[in-house]
């Protein structure tokens, strides 16, 4: 059982040896397994008919560097070529908008009939480079490429201006991004049905583009995620007390896609699911129905587990788990040492923030069918010791694949460093400084201002 860590105040990362980290975890009573044995990260794992070569993954991190028509730019190609050289078995491509009307940034990727050939060029190049580098590292199976498709919902922008497309009103969520109730719209049931058809069409394009699978994004407060918490969306087929209604758009999209790809079992339908928003009821998913609960809210995974089991029944066998809403209070999603400009340090120790998401993932793993492959989040905060943690949680059966987001910006070759030297290079690691998050918040192209020369002078 996860106990909220109110007794331990914030402290920055200060651990110079693996023993330092182990001792701090012991002092804080955080039961995270740390292993000096990392060879298990080289093991392959099979999802349906697709074999993923190893247990490390690039997580979907928006670069906001696409051309205005949504196609990948030279800078996009540069990022993914860096990932492809890094040795991971799974590259989970960033949130790509299903239409120009629901982007969170004018330079977010958008997949369309007009630019599908540009995406084909990207996947062909990345697959070739990734496979060649995996072969050099001794892996026999080809890399897996997943495309995340998203509707930005409340966080949509049009012509550079905020235009929230909400599932329901929330003054608290509006305040977090400095919009007013009169801004944007509440999306209608008819519009949600239209979006379902668009989503299905774009997923078909993703397959045509050369991806191995598509992620129907359901996390971090975007449209499908917000619908999962739409308890007070009234008179709607997509909201209210019933999880069946709140998950309707999500599951209808998955059902349509599984029907269309039934004869092509090699193409994966998957999702990155936010299992715990942290925002108190009735605005958060995965929280207890307690009126006037404090943030972070009390955890209740009954509905998230029910949802993932429904996905399993629809033949979804690969799920990426995350938590929180980074637009609201980002430390639930990605613990940090330094907040974004104007932000505040959280009241909890960041090791507890990191442990929460790993703990939630392990609970999900224990409550869903054993052949559901679970990708976990939250490892970048552990810097040069992240491989030791990844090895430990996999040994314990807490997760199947460990995903890295911010680390991939700072050090895209983290996997190769683990496979060749058993540890991540400390001098190249992410230092959780929030500068990449600040770039995102400011609408700039996103990368590591500390480790990557391309972004060092963009602050």
pLDDT in tens, 405-436: 999 999 999 999 999 999 999 999 999 999 99
Question: What pLDDT shows up at residue 152?
Answer: 98
Regions of the chain short of the pLDDT cut 70: 1-7, 263-264, 459
Question: What pLDDT shows up at residue 358?
Answer: 98
Cα separation, 210 vs 13, whole angstroms: 40
Range of the domain at 174: 18-442
Cα separation, 347 vs 344, whole angstroms: 9
Question: What pLDDT shows up at residue 262?
Answer: 81
Asked whether residue 453 is domain-assigned, the answer is no
Contact 359, 376 (CB under 8 A): no
Cα separation, 292 vs 422, whole angstroms: 47
| E strand residue ranges, 250-400 | 268-274, 318-322, 373-376
Cα separation, 335 vs 353, whole angstroms: 6
Question: What pLDDT shows up at residue 8?
Answer: 78
Q: Residue 225's domain is classified under what CATH number?
A: 3.20.20.70
Asked whether residue 24 is domain-assigned, the answer is yes
Cα separation, 88 vs 78, whole angstroms: 17
Joined together, the tokens standing for residue 24 give: 């701090």
- Three-state DSSP state, 269: strand
Question: What pLDDT shows up at residue 181?
Answer: 96
Question: What pLDDT shows up at residue 87?
Answer: 98
Give the DSSP H or E segment for 90. strand 90-97
Cα separation, 81 vs 139, whole angstroms: 18
Asked whether residue 452 is domain-assigned, the answer is no
Rounded to 5 degrees, what are φ and ψ at 280? -60, 150
Beta bridge partners of 56: 402
Cα separation, 237 vs 234, whole angstroms: 9
Joined together, the tokens standing for residue 188 give: 């209608």
Cα separation, 328 vs 283, whole angstroms: 12
Asked whether residue 451 is domain-assigned, the answer is no
Question: What pLDDT shows up at residue 366?
Answer: 98
Asked whether residue 378 is domain-assigned, the answer is yes
Asked whether residue 4 is domain-assigned, the answer is no
Cα separation, 4 vs 356, whole angstroms: 9
- Three-state DSSP state, 397: coil
Asked whether residue 342 is domain-assigned, the answer is yes
Number of domains in the chain: 1
> For residue 354, what are the contacts with CB-CB under 8 A and spacing of at least 6?
335, 378, 379, 381, 382
Asked whether residue 11 is domain-assigned, the answer is no
Give how far the C-alpha of residue 211 lies from the chain's centroid of Cα atoms, to the nearest Å.
18
Give pTM, 2 decimals: 0.97
């Amino acid at each position: 059982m996860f106990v909220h860590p109110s007794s331990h105040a914030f402290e920055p990362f200060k651990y110079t040896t693996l023993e330092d980290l182990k001792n701090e975890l012991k002092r804080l009573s955080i039961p995270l397994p740390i292993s000096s044995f990392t060879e298990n990260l080289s093991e392959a794992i099979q999802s349906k008919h697709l074999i993923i070569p190893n247990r490390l993954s690039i997580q979907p991190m928006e670069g906001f560097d696409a051309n205005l028509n949504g196609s990948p730019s030279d800078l996009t190609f540069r990022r993914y070529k860096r990932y492809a050289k890094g040795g991971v078995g799974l590259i989970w491509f960033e949130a790509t908008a299903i239409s120009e009307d629901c982007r969170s940034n004018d330079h977010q990727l958008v997949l369309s009939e007009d630019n599908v050939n540009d995406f084909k060029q990207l996947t062909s190049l990345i697959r070739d480079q990734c496979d060649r580098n995996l072969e050099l590292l001794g892996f026999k199976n080809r890399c897996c490429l997943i495309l995340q498709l998203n509707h930005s919902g409340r966080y949509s922008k049009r012509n550079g201006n905020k235009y929230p497309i909400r599932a329901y009103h929330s003054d608290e969520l509006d305040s977090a991004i400095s919009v007013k109730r009169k801004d944007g719209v509440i999306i209608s049931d008819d519009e949600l049905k239209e979006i379902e058809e668009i989503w299905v069409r774009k997923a078909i394009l993703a397959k045509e583009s050369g991806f191995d699978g598509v992620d129907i994004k359901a996390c971090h407060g975007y449209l499908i995620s917000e619908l999962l918490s739409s308890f007070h969306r009234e008179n709607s087929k997509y909201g209210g007390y019933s999880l069946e209604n709140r998950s309707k758009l999500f599951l209808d999209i998955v059902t349509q896609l599984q029907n269309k790809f039934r004869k092509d079992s090699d193409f994966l339908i998957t999702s990155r699911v936010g299992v715990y928003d942290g925002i108190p009821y009735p605005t958060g998913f995965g929280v207890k129905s307690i009126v006037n609960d404090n943030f972070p809210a009390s955890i209740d995974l009954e509905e998230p587990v029910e949802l993932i089991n429904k996905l399993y029944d629809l033949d979804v066998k690969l799920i990426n788990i995350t938590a929180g809403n980074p637009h609201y209070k980002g430390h639930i999603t990605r613990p940090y040492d330094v907040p974004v400009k104007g932000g505040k340090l959280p009241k909890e120790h960041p090791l507890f923030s990191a442990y929460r998401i790993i703990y939630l993932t392990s609970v999900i793993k224990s409550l869903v069918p054993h052949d559901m492959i679970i990708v976990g989040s939250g490892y970048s905060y552990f810097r040069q010791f992240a491989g030791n943690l990844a090895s430990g949680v996999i040994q314990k059966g807490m997760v199947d694949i460990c995903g890295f987001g911010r680390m991939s910006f700072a050090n895209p070759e983290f996997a190769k460093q683990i496979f060749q030297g058993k540890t991540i290079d400390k001098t190249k690691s992410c230092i959780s400084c929030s500068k990449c998050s600040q770039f995102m918040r400011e609408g700039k192209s996103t990368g590591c201002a500390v480790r990557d020369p391309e972004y060092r002078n963009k602050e």
